[in-house]
Structures are given as structure tokens and as C-alpha cells.
Amino acid sequence: MAGSTDGEKRNHTSGVPAGIPEMGEIVGYKLRRAQLFVFQDFIESFAKMKLRPAEFSVLAIIARTPGQKQTEIAEQLGIKRANFVALMDGLERRGLAERRKAATDKRSHSLHLTPEGARFVDKMTSVWRNHEERLIERLGGPEARAALLDLLGRLLDDPER
């Protein structure tokens, strides 16, 4: 029992007014919807672990390259260093990561996983693989995923410079 109420001001011949885009052909819109969908799955996947996307990314980076300072990691992830503080506080409070005072620069902190954090990252990685596998299935295979990553990379990587 839904349906529009009236119907009005159309173009001359058909029913499509001028060159107004359909939502499905707007790259930004479709990107956004897809991102929301993927994050939805991600968030549900990590609900039990109480891990949010930003926390996942920080742990992954620390695990792969320990010893970096906050600003470095924040910048890599496009997070303002001011907002990184609370994020890191949370990871430290949970005993997953820690700040060590860097010897060379007394201002900065060197970020590391705790032993528990390392075990956590192992589980996290496994959960992530399932999530990623689910996406691959939807996309229609690993090649499709690779193609998507490539296209997204073209948007991100700066052409000049």
C-alpha cells in the first residue's frame, strides 16, 4: 500500500527529467554504500572481540611494524593524532598494546604489542580472514577482489608527484 502520491513536471518525451544522475551511477554514493555494507560485516565479525575497525588497524600496524611512534601510525591511518590518544588508551587499558618511552626522543612513545596483544592479533587475523573470504564470495572470486583493490588504489594513489 505504498507508492508515490502524484507525479509531475517530467521532461518532454520519456519520464526522465534532464540529465539528473541515478544514484546507482554515482561513484561516491555507491562507494559509500559498499563501504557501509563491508563495515557492517566487519563490525559484526568482531563484535564478540569488542574490536572496532580503527582498533583493528592500529593493532595490525603495530604487529607488523612495532616501535613506531603515535604520530607515525596515526598519519598512516589518516587519524588525527589528537584522536589517536583515546584509541591507544583503550588498547593499553585492555593490555593489548603499550607505550614505551623512546630513548632517542623523550617526547615520543614507541608502540608495541604485549604478549597478550600478540595472541589477540592472531585471533583477530583469523577472524578477519573469514570476513575477507565472505567478501570474495560476494565479489565472485579472488580476481574480482584483486580488481577492486586495484581500482580503489587508482583513486587513492596520487598520480603526480
Partner DNA sequence: CATAATTGTTTCATCATATAACAATATATC
Partner DNA sequence: GATATATTGTTATATGATGAAACAATTATG
| Residues in 111-150 that interact with a copy of itself by CB under 8 A | 112-113, 118, 121-122, 125, 128-129, 131-132, 135, 138-140, 144-145, 147-149
- At its nearest, how many Å lie between a copy of itself and the CB of residue 35? 4
Residue 101 belongs to what H/E stretch?
strand 97-101
- By CB under 8 A, tell whether 11 contacts a copy of itself: no
Binding piece for DNA, criterion CB under 7 A, among 78-86, 112-120, 121-129, 140-148: 78-86
**Helix, coil or strand: residue 126:** helix
Q: Which of 64, 106, 154, 161 binds DNA (CB under 7 A)?
A: 106
- At its nearest, how many Å lie between a copy of itself and the CB of residue 78? 7
Distance CA 74, CA 85 (A): 9
Helices 115-139/53-64 angle, 10° precision:
120
Of a copy of itself, DNA, none, which one sits near residue 161, judging by CB under 5 to 8 A according to partner kind?
A: none
Distance CA 99, CA 53 (A): 20
Distance CA 73, CA 120 (A): 19
Distance CA 148, CA 129 (A): 17
Q: Which of 20, 27, 82, 155 binds DNA (CB under 7 A)?
A: 82
Binding site for DNA (CB under 7 A): 1-2, 52, 54, 69-71, 78-86, 88-89, 99, 104-109
